[in-house]
Structure 1
């Protein structure tokens, strides 16, 4: 299969997210090794890799939820140790709300911690389509509703950068279309979105840029338009890059 790929692009000072020489070890296990890449603002960047490739580890380091063993991450040119809510919104793991609390109560707590007005909670509940369900206990929510709550939390402070890990899980086709539109609108407004997903056919129409990692290393960074022009699908390229064949 004649797919032309690149091993990565140079990290530039203007990148919204700069990952430089990132290494993360857990004891003797090296999850990420000397990884460098840049994520440009005003774009939706797809961040892909097979299970165990280290995707979530990288996203956690970017989000300040894990410390690197070596290297650094810069958000808008600043070190990303404890990013402010207005800089970074994150949805990596389940929504984190206590099952006995309502979605609104959960978001009000987050808003208070971030110094945001309570009116923002109502805005987000409506934006993600929870509506009256926002008053129900989270323990009664479906997977799709919990996903929407997690997205509401990530969007609460209207951050410059969004980092989303598998946000389409549990969403129905209408919900996927809504999320795709939301992410496109944010990117078109100059915001930055990093999106990780195994649903390559779903996100192919959403992402502008593509990063693929495998076995803790960067194996490709480029534009989605270049993949489309090659005549191959995102899935074709992903499988080619992660099957151990020569690029």
Structure 2
């Protein structure tokens, strides 16, 4: 039987670089995300986190290097909501459309059963607001809607960029519980966050980048204070 340490990484990033003209945003970045864990992806503003995450999910083409998901190159994969759920950009719903209608359209385009819409609305605690127009939603409610969309396919992997942004304390606790429950079931999560104290309660592993380069990777248990390690490794300067 294959042990966890021998298992194929859920996500493998090798030598990833992304340039826009003369500007290098991600620079020879290499890291792995193990299955069945929540991995925190940290770095200062402008460190290249969102760009790297877009490359992981196939929204940005690398200038160099490779990215694989569950052992297969991302470039060769057909988008599949059952394999990977993504929340990187805002929820993208038309402001005049209801939350339920938005999710139904996504489920239809992904070939998912309509029943999943009501399930993720309940998971995201949006059932009572599902008939309201998204334009009337608060930032936190739009964030929940984006997370509900990422969960539609009950994916093996979630990739979430700042998922706690706009959530109130109750929402942050809900998010933490939901992510830990998924990891307990063998699912994988890669998330970025600037809320380091909260992230320390959520993640199993830590990846820290600065100026597009890896500066630290390891289990959260090896980190005495995530905030102190973050500041030490990145020079304590927000960019």
Aligned to 2:114: 118
Aligned to 1:101: 97
Cα RMSD (Å): 1.5
Choose which of 22, 26, 40 in structure 1 pairs with 2:34: 40
Tell me the CA shift for residue 14 of structure 1: 1.1
Choose which of 142, 146, 163 in structure 2 pairs with 1:146: 142
Q: Deviations over 1:178-199 (max 9, x none)?
A: 1101100101111110010000
Choose which of 22, 27, 30 in structure 2 pairs with 1:28: 22
How far apart, CA to CA, are the structure 1 residues paired with 2:33 and 2:120?
26
Aligned to 2:200: 204
How far apart, CA to CA, are the structure 2 residues paired with 1:235 and 1:28?
32
Aligned to 2:129: 133
SS of residue matched to 1:45: strand
Choose which of 54, 58, 64 in structure 2 pairs with 1:60: 54
Task: Show structure 1 runs of 4+ deviating over 2 A.
Answer: none
Aligned to 1:238: 230
How far apart, CA to CA, are the structure 2 residues paired with 1:161 and 1:174?
24
2:230/2:236 contact within 8 Å kept = no
How far apart, CA to CA, are the structure 1 residues paired with 2:150 and 2:42?
20
Choose which of 12, 29, 40 in structure 2 pairs with 1:18: 12
2:87/2:163 contact within 8 Å kept = yes
Ranges in structure 2 where 5+ consecutive residues have no aligned partner: none
Q: Deviations over 1:86-128 (max 9, x none)?
A: 1110001110000010011110111001111111101111110
SS of residue matched to 1:205: helix
Q: Deviations over 1:117-143 (max 9, x none)?
A: 111101111110011211100000000
How far apart, CA to CA, are the structure 2 residues paired with 1:113 and 1:244?
44
Normalised by the length of structure 1, the TM-score is: 0.91
1:12/1:18 contact within 8 Å kept = no
Distance 1:219 1:12, change over 3 A: farther
Choose which of 157, 164, 173 in structure 2 pairs with 1:161: 157
